[in-house]
Copies of this chain bind each other. A is one copy, B any other.
Amino acid sequence: MFAQTPKPPYYAVIFTSVREAGDSGYSSMSDEMVDEVKKQSGFLGFESAREELGITVSYWHDLDSIADWRNNRKHSIARSKGKQDWYSAYKVRICKVESDYDWFRSE
């Protein structure tokens, strides 16, 4: 459900995107990237939803972990494919999570 993140501070990368029509290998690469990122040091988890707009938030231990993932070879190939085929546009925001809280219905 929610990414299981530690007590703040930690980091979040908010990736907002608009897709081009058609799959063009997106779904299989997306699955592959999930497997790959889980092996990445400092990766804490992610949350994702798409309607008109897609929002994927990944959580990270620190900025170095985010930079390492950006330099990951498979991830770089996926990003090139993203610009070539999958996305009309995207925006990336790198954030420090300063505080958080949650609520769960108790029945």
Central interface residue in A51, A95, A100, by most chain B CB within 10 Å: A95
- Whether B105 pairs with A100 at a CB distance below 8 angstroms is no
Query: Which B residues are CB-close (under 8 A) to A91?
Result: 2, 100-103
User: How many residues on A have C-beta within 8 angstroms of the other chain's C-beta atoms?
Assistant: 39
A55 to B57, CA, bound (A): 9
- In the assembled complex, the CB of A106 is this many whole angstroms from the nearest CB of chain B, namely 10
- Whether A12 pairs with B102 at a CB distance below 8 angstroms is no
> How many copies of this kind of chain does the complex include?
2
Where chain A touches its partner, the secondary structure class is strand
A95 to B51, CA, bound (A): 23
Central interface residue in A1, A54, A87, A93, by most chain B CB within 10 Å: A93
Q: Is A24 at the interface (CB under 8 A from chain B)?
A: no
